[in-house]
Amino acid sequence: MDILKDLGELAIGSRLRRLSDQMMNDVKAIYKNFGIDFNPKWFPVFYTLVKHEKLAIMELSEQLNITHPAVIKLAKELQKEGYIDSEKDTEDRRKRYLKLSEKGRALLPELELAWKDMAKGGYDLLQNKQNNLLHAIQEVEYALREKSFFHHIKEARIERMLKAIKIVDYDPKYADEFKKINYNWIEKYFKVEQADIEALDGHQEKILNKGGYIYFAMYENEIAGTCALIKYSDERYELAKMGVKDKFKGIQIGKKLGLTVIAKVRALGGKVLFLESNKSLKPALNLYTRLGFKEIPMIGGSVSDYERADIKMEIRF
């Protein structure tokens, strides 16, 4: 019975570790069986020094993808065994070069035979399989360089949550959430202005009664975010009061709300959808740009009702 096996992707880390431990142990036993006084953990450092004559601690650390304290520890053990020597760099007095000693070089022929056997044994073990472990690792390592496991998981989460997000129309029972979410971000980054109070506390009169809309993003039974569409005329609309709760940040709820508003304006036959914002709100501005908004000059025409507004954007239909 092996639970890890049945857990698939969830336990991949543990299984890799288990397999690694098992194989390393066998290699340890092999050196002993062959009568060679050599610890398999020394192999990477030792082998690299065979190939490179002399190398500094950091150079080894980089080549082997292990931390420098690990290199230092291994070097200490190898020096204790007498397999390597170390010498100071003459130019850079911080640097210390490691190289094989006489004794190390004397051990080499014997080691090389053992390595040959291990390579052959490993080859026999890994060959003739449907999926080659070595190549599989290669491919995964490569894929991880493109996008980390962390990133993969985050994307899976975003996808899952986004799929569960539903945009719903205004309902008086959500009125408090509309106010709370907006007061929250306004107080966090700026200060509440008169126009905010009018639009939020007076949203029925100032937004809805004037032919505007308020939308909510629902995740299961919880409000995750909101935004308003304010009507100025049959041609002219404003996207405003968009906010997303902290715990739902980063899963593109804003995008979903924005697309809803844009679709609505299009359906209403509007000609312009504009918005006002502040240049310090980088993620928001990125979103607006991705939604298709273009920056337009603030000066000339109407001046904003909001002190914090220092950028204006619009979409023309």
Please give the Cα distance from 223 to 245 (Å, whole number): 8
**Identity of the residue, 95 or 206, whose beta carbon is nearer to DNA in the bound complex:** 95
Q: How far is CA 215 from the centre of its chain?
A: 30
Please give the Cα distance from 282 to 184 (Å, whole number): 18
Instruction: State the binding partner of 39 from DNA, its own copies, none, CB within 5 to 8 A by kind.
Output: DNA
Length of the chain as a residue count: 317
Instruction: State the binding partner of 56 from DNA, its own copies, none, CB within 5 to 8 A by kind.
Output: DNA
**Identity of the residue, 117 or 205, whose beta carbon is nearer to its own copies in the bound complex:** 117
**Identity of the residue, 89 or 201, whose beta carbon is nearer to DNA in the bound complex:** 89
- Indicate the pairing of strand 272-277 with strand 236-244: parallel
221 near its own copies, rule: CB under 8 A: no
Instruction: Note the helical H segments in 34-101.
Output: 43-52, 57-64, 68-81
**Identity of the residue, 43 or 183, whose beta carbon is nearer to DNA in the bound complex:** 43
Residue 10 Cβ vs DNA, minimum distance, rounded to whole Å:
14
Q: According to CB under 8 A, which residues from 230 to 289 bind its own copies?
A: 247
- Lookup result for tokens 């904003």: 304
118 near its own copies, rule: CB under 8 A: yes
**DSSP H or E stretch at residue 150:** helix 149-164
Region from 21-29, 76-84, 101-109, 176-184 binding its own copies, contact rule CB under 8 A: 21-29
Q: Is the Cβ–Cβ distance between 288 and 253 less than 8 Å?
A: no
Region from 149-157, 171-179, 201-209, 303-311 binding its own copies, contact rule CB under 8 A: 149-157
